[in-house]
Structure 1
Amino acid sequence: MNDEHRLGPSESARIREGIAAAVLGASAELADSLERDAAGYLRLIDASRIGAEESSRLLREAVQGARAAGHSWDTVGRVLGVSRQAAQQRFADKAGDIVHGDPSTNSPDTPRRRRLGPVSAFNEMAALADCGRDGWHLVGYGAAFLDVEASAHPWEHCRVTLASGGRLRRMESEGWIPVGAGWFPWRYYKRPLLPAAEQDMK
Protein backbone atom coordinates (compact mmCIF):
# COMPACT_ATOMS: atom_id res chain seq x y z
CA MET A 1 0.00 0.00 0.00
CA ASN A 2 0.95 3.62 -0.41
CA ASP A 3 2.69 4.69 2.82
CA GLU A 4 1.77 8.38 2.49
CA HIS A 5 -1.35 7.80 4.62
CA ARG A 6 0.47 5.94 7.39
CA LEU A 7 2.12 7.51 10.40
CA GLY A 8 5.87 7.21 10.85
CA PRO A 9 7.51 5.11 13.59
CA SER A 10 7.96 8.06 15.98
CA GLU A 11 4.31 9.15 15.61
CA SER A 12 3.13 5.57 16.16
CA ALA A 13 5.34 5.26 19.25
CA ARG A 14 3.96 8.55 20.63
CA ILE A 15 0.38 7.23 20.31
CA ARG A 16 1.26 3.93 21.98
CA GLU A 17 3.02 5.72 24.84
CA GLY A 18 0.10 8.11 25.24
CA ILE A 19 -2.42 5.27 25.48
CA ALA A 20 -0.27 3.40 28.00
CA ALA A 21 0.15 6.59 30.07
CA ALA A 22 -3.62 7.24 29.98
CA VAL A 23 -4.39 3.69 31.15
CA LEU A 24 -1.81 3.79 33.95
CA GLY A 25 -2.91 7.32 34.89
CA ALA A 26 -6.58 6.33 35.28
CA SER A 27 -6.21 6.89 38.99
CA ALA A 28 -3.44 8.41 41.08
CA GLU A 29 -2.55 5.14 42.79
CA LEU A 30 -2.96 2.57 39.99
CA ALA A 31 0.68 2.50 38.83
CA ASP A 32 2.00 2.49 42.42
CA SER A 33 -0.34 -0.33 43.46
CA LEU A 34 1.27 -2.69 40.92
CA GLU A 35 4.40 -2.79 43.12
CA ARG A 36 2.58 -4.10 46.21
CA ASP A 37 -1.01 -5.17 45.52
CA ALA A 38 -2.15 -8.08 43.35
CA ALA A 39 -5.61 -6.47 43.05
CA GLY A 40 -3.96 -3.58 41.21
CA TYR A 41 -3.54 -5.87 38.22
CA LEU A 42 -7.30 -6.44 38.08
CA ARG A 43 -7.84 -2.67 38.06
CA LEU A 44 -5.21 -2.48 35.30
CA ILE A 45 -7.26 -4.98 33.27
CA ASP A 46 -10.37 -2.83 33.71
CA ALA A 47 -8.50 0.37 32.75
CA SER A 48 -7.03 -1.41 29.70
CA ARG A 49 -10.49 -2.68 28.69
CA ILE A 50 -11.88 0.87 28.81
CA GLY A 51 -8.90 2.12 26.78
CA ALA A 52 -9.46 -0.60 24.17
CA GLU A 53 -13.20 0.19 23.92
CA GLU A 54 -12.45 3.89 23.48
CA SER A 55 -9.77 3.16 20.85
CA SER A 56 -12.25 0.98 18.99
CA ARG A 57 -14.86 3.76 19.07
CA LEU A 58 -12.33 6.33 17.81
CA LEU A 59 -11.31 4.04 14.95
CA ARG A 60 -14.92 3.46 13.93
CA GLU A 61 -15.66 7.20 13.93
CA ALA A 62 -12.43 7.96 12.04
CA VAL A 63 -13.38 5.43 9.34
CA GLN A 64 -16.90 6.84 9.07
CA GLY A 65 -15.43 10.35 8.85
CA ALA A 66 -13.13 9.24 6.01
CA ARG A 67 -16.11 7.71 4.19
CA ALA A 68 -18.13 10.91 4.66
CA ALA A 69 -15.14 12.85 3.25
CA GLY A 70 -15.40 10.78 0.05
CA HIS A 71 -12.80 8.03 0.51
CA SER A 72 -13.66 4.61 -0.93
CA TRP A 73 -13.83 1.37 1.05
CA ASP A 74 -10.84 0.22 -1.01
CA THR A 75 -8.72 3.18 0.20
CA VAL A 76 -9.90 2.77 3.80
CA GLY A 77 -9.08 -0.94 3.66
CA ARG A 78 -5.57 -0.21 2.38
CA VAL A 79 -4.88 2.17 5.29
CA LEU A 80 -6.19 -0.47 7.72
CA GLY A 81 -4.19 -3.24 6.03
CA VAL A 82 -7.31 -5.27 5.18
CA SER A 83 -9.42 -5.88 2.09
CA ARG A 84 -12.19 -3.57 0.97
CA GLN A 85 -14.75 -6.21 1.94
CA ALA A 86 -13.27 -6.69 5.42
CA ALA A 87 -13.25 -2.94 6.06
CA GLN A 88 -16.84 -2.59 4.88
CA GLN A 89 -18.06 -5.54 6.95
CA ARG A 90 -16.46 -4.22 10.09
CA PHE A 91 -17.13 -0.51 9.77
CA ALA A 92 -20.23 -0.02 7.62
CA ASP A 93 -22.49 2.57 9.24
CA LYS A 94 -24.86 1.08 11.79
CA ALA A 95 -28.17 2.63 12.77
CA GLY A 96 -26.96 2.93 16.36
CA ASP A 97 -24.09 5.28 15.51
CA ILE A 98 -25.94 8.41 16.55
CA VAL A 99 -24.85 10.86 19.22
CA HIS A 100 -27.80 12.59 20.84
CA GLY A 101 -27.06 15.81 22.67
CA ASP A 102 -30.53 16.32 24.14
CA PRO A 103 -33.14 13.80 25.23
CA SER A 104 -36.08 13.42 22.86
CA THR A 105 -39.64 12.49 23.66
CA ASN A 106 -42.69 11.66 21.62
CA SER A 107 -44.98 14.19 23.29
CA PRO A 108 -46.96 16.65 21.13
CA ASP A 109 -44.93 19.48 22.70
CA THR A 110 -41.63 18.11 21.35
CA PRO A 111 -40.01 20.73 19.06
CA ARG A 112 -39.76 19.96 15.35
CA ARG A 113 -36.61 18.15 14.26
CA ARG A 114 -35.03 17.43 10.93
CA ARG A 115 -31.96 15.65 9.64
CA LEU A 116 -29.34 17.37 7.48
CA GLY A 117 -27.31 15.13 5.23
CA PRO A 118 -25.32 13.86 3.72
CA VAL A 119 -22.75 16.22 5.20
CA SER A 120 -18.99 15.94 5.67
CA ALA A 121 -16.29 17.60 7.74
CA PHE A 122 -15.89 20.04 4.84
CA ASN A 123 -19.45 21.36 4.62
CA GLU A 124 -21.23 20.59 7.90
CA MET A 125 -20.34 23.90 9.58
CA ALA A 126 -21.71 25.89 6.62
CA ALA A 127 -24.92 23.84 6.86
CA LEU A 128 -25.16 24.59 10.60
CA ALA A 129 -24.52 28.29 10.00
CA ASP A 130 -27.36 28.42 7.47
CA CYS A 131 -29.90 26.61 9.60
CA GLY A 132 -28.73 28.36 12.79
CA ARG A 133 -29.69 31.72 11.28
CA ASP A 134 -33.19 30.29 10.77
CA GLY A 135 -33.54 29.18 14.40
CA TRP A 136 -32.43 25.55 14.11
CA HIS A 137 -29.85 24.21 16.57
CA LEU A 138 -27.81 21.00 16.72
CA VAL A 139 -29.16 18.21 18.96
CA GLY A 140 -27.52 15.07 17.53
CA TYR A 141 -25.10 13.82 14.90
CA GLY A 142 -23.45 10.79 13.38
CA ALA A 143 -21.62 9.68 10.26
CA ALA A 144 -22.60 12.10 7.47
CA PHE A 145 -25.64 13.65 9.17
CA LEU A 146 -26.71 16.31 11.67
CA ASP A 147 -29.98 16.40 13.63
CA VAL A 148 -31.31 19.90 14.29
CA GLU A 149 -34.27 21.21 16.25
CA ALA A 150 -36.39 24.30 15.67
CA SER A 151 -36.45 27.19 18.14
CA ALA A 152 -37.70 30.76 18.32
CA HIS A 153 -34.30 32.45 17.93
CA PRO A 154 -31.09 32.07 15.90
CA TRP A 155 -28.10 30.01 17.03
CA GLU A 156 -24.40 29.88 16.33
CA HIS A 157 -22.40 26.66 16.17
CA CYS A 158 -18.75 25.76 16.29
CA ARG A 159 -16.60 22.67 16.51
CA VAL A 160 -13.16 22.15 17.98
CA THR A 161 -10.89 19.14 18.18
CA LEU A 162 -11.20 16.99 21.28
CA ALA A 163 -7.52 17.75 22.00
CA SER A 164 -8.36 21.39 22.83
CA GLY A 165 -8.86 20.88 26.59
CA GLY A 166 -8.21 24.42 27.84
CA ARG A 167 -10.15 25.98 25.00
CA LEU A 168 -13.17 23.75 25.71
CA ARG A 169 -13.36 24.93 29.33
CA ARG A 170 -13.05 28.56 28.25
CA MET A 171 -15.82 28.16 25.66
CA GLU A 172 -18.22 26.76 28.23
CA SER A 173 -17.54 29.77 30.47
CA GLU A 174 -18.45 31.97 27.47
CA GLY A 175 -21.89 30.41 27.13
CA TRP A 176 -21.18 27.71 24.56
CA ILE A 177 -23.24 24.57 25.20
CA PRO A 178 -21.64 21.19 24.39
CA VAL A 179 -23.74 18.89 22.20
CA GLY A 180 -23.20 15.23 23.06
CA ALA A 181 -19.82 13.75 23.84
CA GLY A 182 -18.24 14.51 20.46
CA TRP A 183 -17.76 12.71 17.16
CA PHE A 184 -14.06 11.98 16.82
CA PRO A 185 -12.07 14.11 16.23
CA TRP A 186 -14.59 16.91 16.86
CA ARG A 187 -16.51 18.35 19.80
CA TYR A 188 -19.59 20.37 18.85
CA TYR A 189 -20.92 23.47 20.59
CA LYS A 190 -23.88 25.80 20.17
CA ARG A 191 -25.16 28.97 21.80
CA PRO A 192 -28.22 31.10 21.23
CA LEU A 193 -27.76 34.42 19.51
CA LEU A 194 -29.43 37.16 21.52
CA PRO A 195 -31.29 40.00 19.81
CA ALA A 196 -29.11 43.12 19.43
CA ALA A 197 -31.05 44.94 22.18
CA GLU A 198 -30.34 42.17 24.70
CA GLN A 199 -26.67 42.06 23.71
CA ASP A 200 -26.37 45.82 24.35
CA MET A 201 -27.79 45.36 27.85
CA LYS A 202 -25.03 42.87 28.79
Structure 2
Amino acid sequence: MSDSELLSRQEIAAIREEIAGAVLRTPEGLAESLERDPESFLRLVAAARIGAEESSRLLREAIQGARAAGHSWDSVGSVLGVSRQAAQQRFAVKASAVKPGSAEGGADGTAAPDGGPVRRVITPVTAFNEMAELDAAGHDGWHLVDYGTLFLVVEASDRAWEHRRVFVGQRRRMNADGWTQVGSGSFPWGYYKRPVDRPDSPDAS
Protein backbone atom coordinates (compact mmCIF):
# COMPACT_ATOMS: atom_id res chain seq x y z
CA MET A 1 0.00 0.00 0.00
CA SER A 2 1.53 3.31 -1.09
CA ASP A 3 0.88 7.01 -0.43
CA SER A 4 -1.02 7.23 -3.71
CA GLU A 5 -3.41 4.49 -2.57
CA LEU A 6 -4.19 6.29 0.69
CA LEU A 7 -4.12 9.92 -0.49
CA SER A 8 -5.23 11.54 -3.72
CA ARG A 9 -2.78 13.47 -5.89
CA GLN A 10 -4.50 16.67 -4.83
CA GLU A 11 -4.11 15.80 -1.15
CA ILE A 12 -0.43 14.97 -1.57
CA ALA A 13 0.17 18.23 -3.44
CA ALA A 14 -1.74 20.22 -0.81
CA ILE A 15 0.30 18.76 2.06
CA ARG A 16 3.55 19.55 0.31
CA GLU A 17 2.37 23.07 -0.48
CA GLU A 18 1.29 23.71 3.12
CA ILE A 19 4.65 22.59 4.49
CA ALA A 20 6.57 24.73 2.01
CA GLY A 21 4.26 27.65 2.74
CA ALA A 22 4.76 27.34 6.50
CA VAL A 23 8.55 27.38 6.08
CA LEU A 24 8.35 30.54 3.96
CA ARG A 25 5.59 32.35 5.86
CA THR A 26 6.41 31.82 9.51
CA PRO A 27 9.76 33.60 9.80
CA GLU A 28 8.72 37.23 9.61
CA GLY A 29 9.56 38.85 6.28
CA LEU A 30 11.51 35.85 4.99
CA ALA A 31 9.78 35.43 1.64
CA GLU A 32 10.16 39.12 0.76
CA SER A 33 13.80 39.33 1.85
CA LEU A 34 14.85 36.47 -0.42
CA GLU A 35 14.62 38.90 -3.35
CA ARG A 36 17.29 41.22 -1.97
CA ASP A 37 19.16 39.83 1.03
CA PRO A 38 21.68 36.96 0.69
CA GLU A 39 21.61 36.43 4.47
CA SER A 40 17.93 35.56 4.27
CA PHE A 41 18.86 32.29 2.57
CA LEU A 42 20.51 31.20 5.80
CA ARG A 43 17.23 31.94 7.59
CA LEU A 44 15.53 29.82 4.93
CA VAL A 45 17.92 26.95 5.68
CA ALA A 46 17.19 27.30 9.40
CA ALA A 47 13.44 27.35 8.82
CA ALA A 48 13.61 24.36 6.47
CA ARG A 49 15.67 22.44 9.04
CA ILE A 50 13.03 23.08 11.71
CA GLY A 51 10.34 21.99 9.27
CA ALA A 52 12.23 18.79 8.45
CA GLU A 53 12.78 17.99 12.14
CA GLU A 54 9.11 18.55 12.90
CA SER A 55 8.02 16.43 9.93
CA SER A 56 10.31 13.64 11.13
CA ARG A 57 8.82 13.86 14.64
CA LEU A 58 5.28 13.77 13.28
CA LEU A 59 6.10 10.75 11.15
CA ARG A 60 7.49 8.85 14.12
CA GLU A 61 4.46 9.67 16.25
CA ALA A 62 2.06 8.85 13.42
CA ILE A 63 3.73 5.45 13.09
CA GLN A 64 3.42 4.79 16.82
CA GLY A 65 -0.23 5.79 16.52
CA ALA A 66 -0.72 3.31 13.69
CA ARG A 67 0.90 0.61 15.81
CA ALA A 68 -1.36 1.50 18.75
CA ALA A 69 -4.33 1.20 16.39
CA GLY A 70 -3.33 -2.39 15.68
CA HIS A 71 -1.45 -2.08 12.37
CA SER A 72 1.46 -4.45 11.80
CA TRP A 73 5.00 -3.50 10.89
CA ASP A 74 4.28 -5.10 7.50
CA SER A 75 1.50 -2.58 6.89
CA VAL A 76 3.58 0.36 8.13
CA GLY A 77 6.54 -0.71 6.00
CA SER A 78 4.29 -1.00 2.96
CA VAL A 79 3.12 2.61 3.34
CA LEU A 80 6.71 3.77 3.84
CA GLY A 81 7.93 1.77 0.86
CA VAL A 82 10.36 -0.30 2.94
CA SER A 83 10.43 -3.79 4.39
CA ARG A 84 8.88 -4.71 7.73
CA GLN A 85 12.36 -5.16 9.19
CA ALA A 86 13.54 -1.76 7.96
CA ALA A 87 10.46 0.01 9.35
CA GLN A 88 10.78 -1.73 12.70
CA GLN A 89 14.51 -1.05 12.99
CA ARG A 90 14.05 2.62 12.22
CA PHE A 91 10.85 3.46 14.05
CA ALA A 92 10.29 0.96 16.85
CA VAL A 93 10.41 2.60 20.28
CA LYS A 94 13.41 1.22 22.10
CA ALA A 95 12.49 -0.71 25.23
CA SER A 96 14.87 1.39 27.29
CA ALA A 97 13.23 4.63 26.09
CA VAL A 98 9.67 3.82 27.12
CA LYS A 99 9.19 0.84 29.41
CA PRO A 100 5.97 0.39 31.39
CA GLY A 101 7.74 -1.51 34.13
CA SER A 102 10.00 1.47 34.78
CA ALA A 103 7.10 3.60 35.99
CA GLU A 104 7.18 4.33 39.70
CA GLY A 105 5.25 1.73 41.60
CA GLY A 106 5.39 -0.76 38.71
CA ALA A 107 2.38 -2.41 37.13
CA ASP A 108 0.85 -3.71 40.34
CA GLY A 109 -0.10 -0.35 41.83
CA THR A 110 2.43 -0.35 44.66
CA ALA A 111 3.94 2.74 46.24
CA ALA A 112 6.91 4.35 44.59
CA PRO A 113 10.31 3.49 46.11
CA ASP A 114 10.78 7.04 47.40
CA GLY A 115 7.42 7.00 49.17
CA GLY A 116 5.75 9.03 46.42
CA PRO A 117 2.21 8.57 45.11
CA VAL A 118 1.04 5.14 44.04
CA ARG A 119 1.26 4.54 40.33
CA ARG A 120 0.13 1.72 38.08
CA VAL A 121 0.44 0.84 34.43
CA ILE A 122 -2.62 0.10 32.30
CA THR A 123 -1.58 -2.18 29.44
CA PRO A 124 -2.22 -3.19 26.76
CA VAL A 125 -4.34 -0.35 25.44
CA THR A 126 -5.02 0.78 21.89
CA ALA A 127 -6.12 4.02 20.25
CA PHE A 128 -9.67 2.64 20.39
CA ASN A 129 -9.97 1.72 24.06
CA GLU A 130 -7.51 3.94 25.92
CA MET A 131 -10.05 6.69 26.61
CA ALA A 132 -12.54 4.19 28.06
CA GLU A 133 -9.74 2.92 30.30
CA LEU A 134 -8.93 6.48 31.38
CA ASP A 135 -12.60 7.24 32.04
CA ALA A 136 -12.83 4.25 34.37
CA ALA A 137 -9.52 5.03 36.06
CA GLY A 138 -10.40 8.71 36.50
CA HIS A 139 -13.70 7.81 38.13
CA ASP A 140 -11.74 5.79 40.69
CA GLY A 141 -9.30 8.60 41.45
CA TRP A 142 -6.44 7.79 39.07
CA HIS A 143 -5.03 10.44 36.73
CA LEU A 144 -2.74 10.14 33.73
CA VAL A 145 0.92 11.03 34.27
CA ASP A 146 2.65 9.29 31.35
CA TYR A 147 1.89 7.21 28.29
CA GLY A 148 3.48 5.38 25.39
CA THR A 149 2.67 2.85 22.70
CA LEU A 150 0.12 0.40 24.17
CA PHE A 151 0.33 1.65 27.78
CA LEU A 152 -0.81 4.38 30.17
CA VAL A 153 0.71 5.32 33.52
CA VAL A 154 -1.76 6.62 36.10
CA GLU A 155 -1.27 7.97 39.60
CA ALA A 156 -3.60 7.63 42.59
CA SER A 157 -5.25 10.63 44.22
CA ASP A 158 -8.16 11.43 46.52
CA ARG A 159 -10.16 13.08 43.72
CA ALA A 160 -11.94 11.94 40.60
CA TRP A 161 -10.51 12.99 37.26
CA GLU A 162 -11.66 13.44 33.71
CA HIS A 163 -9.44 13.00 30.68
CA ARG A 164 -9.66 14.23 27.11
CA ARG A 165 -7.78 13.39 23.93
CA VAL A 166 -7.94 16.17 21.35
CA PHE A 167 -6.23 16.89 18.08
CA VAL A 168 -3.06 18.95 18.30
CA GLY A 169 -3.47 22.69 18.01
CA GLN A 170 -6.19 23.01 20.65
CA ARG A 171 -3.89 23.61 23.63
CA ARG A 172 -4.93 27.22 24.19
CA ARG A 173 -8.62 26.36 24.31
CA MET A 174 -8.07 23.40 26.62
CA ASN A 175 -5.89 25.41 29.01
CA ALA A 176 -8.50 28.17 29.08
CA ASP A 177 -11.08 25.61 30.19
CA GLY A 178 -8.94 24.41 33.09
CA TRP A 179 -7.36 21.34 31.50
CA THR A 180 -3.73 20.41 32.11
CA GLN A 181 -1.72 18.84 29.32
CA VAL A 182 -0.03 15.54 30.08
CA GLY A 183 3.31 15.20 28.32
CA SER A 184 4.06 16.91 25.05
CA GLY A 185 1.41 15.06 23.06
CA SER A 186 1.57 12.17 20.65
CA PHE A 187 0.62 13.18 17.11
CA PRO A 188 -2.15 13.52 16.13
CA TRP A 189 -3.41 13.94 19.72
CA GLY A 190 -2.72 15.81 22.89
CA TYR A 191 -3.80 14.36 26.24
CA TYR A 192 -5.39 16.47 28.97
CA LYS A 193 -6.75 15.99 32.47
CA ARG A 194 -8.54 17.96 35.17
CA PRO A 195 -9.95 17.03 38.57
CA VAL A 196 -13.69 16.85 39.12
CA ASP A 197 -15.60 17.10 42.36
CA ARG A 198 -17.09 13.86 43.59
CA PRO A 199 -20.78 14.18 44.49
CA ASP A 200 -21.43 13.92 48.22
CA SER A 201 -24.25 11.48 47.58
CA PRO A 202 -25.95 9.79 44.64
CA ASP A 203 -28.64 12.47 44.77
CA ALA A 204 -26.21 15.38 44.69
CA SER A 205 -26.28 17.51 41.57
Q: TM-score, normalised by structure 1?
A: 0.84
Check if 1:115 corresponds to 2:116.
no
Read off the aligned partner of 2:188 and give its amino acid letter: P
1:60-71 aligned within 5 A: 60-71=60-71
- CA gap 1:97/1:36 in 2 versus in 1, 3 angstroms: farther
Counterpart of 2:175 in structure 1 is 172
SS of structure 2 residue aligned to 1:127: helix
Counterpart of 1:181 in structure 2 is 184
Check if 1:141 corresponds to 2:147.
yes
Where in structure 2 are there 5+ consecutive unaligned residues? 100-111, 201-205
The size of the alignment, in residue pairs, is 187
Task: Quote the offset at 1:6 in angstroms.
Answer: 2.0
**Alignment RMSD, CA only?**
2.1
Where in structure 1 are there 5+ consecutive unaligned residues? 99-105, 198-202
Task: State the structure with bigger RCO (CA 8 A, min sep 6), 1 or 2.
Answer: 1
Sequence identity, in percent?
61
**CA contact 1:61–1:143 (8 Å) conserved in 2:** no
Which whole-Å CA distance do the structure 1 matches of 2:136 and 2:190 have between them? 19
Task: Quote the offset at 1:83 in angstroms.
Answer: 1.2
- CA gap 1:46/1:2 in 2 versus in 1, 3 angstroms: closer
- CA gap 1:3/1:21 in 2 versus in 1, 3 angstroms: closer
**CA contact 1:30–1:43 (8 Å) conserved in 2:** yes
**CA contact 2:27–2:47 (8 Å) conserved in 1:** no
- CA gap 1:159/1:54 in 2 versus in 1, 3 angstroms: same
**CA contact 1:182–1:188 (8 Å) conserved in 2:** yes
Read off the aligned partner of 2:32 and give its amino acid letter: D
Task: Quote the offset at 1:4 in angstroms.
Answer: 7.8
Check if 1:154 corresponds to 2:160.
yes
Counterpart of 1:130 in structure 2 is 136
Which whole-Å CA distance do the structure 2 matches of 1:13 and 1:2 have between them? 15
Which whole-Å CA distance do the structure 1 matches of 2:80 and 2:64 have between them? 13
Task: Quote the offset at 1:110 in angstroms.
Answer: 2.5
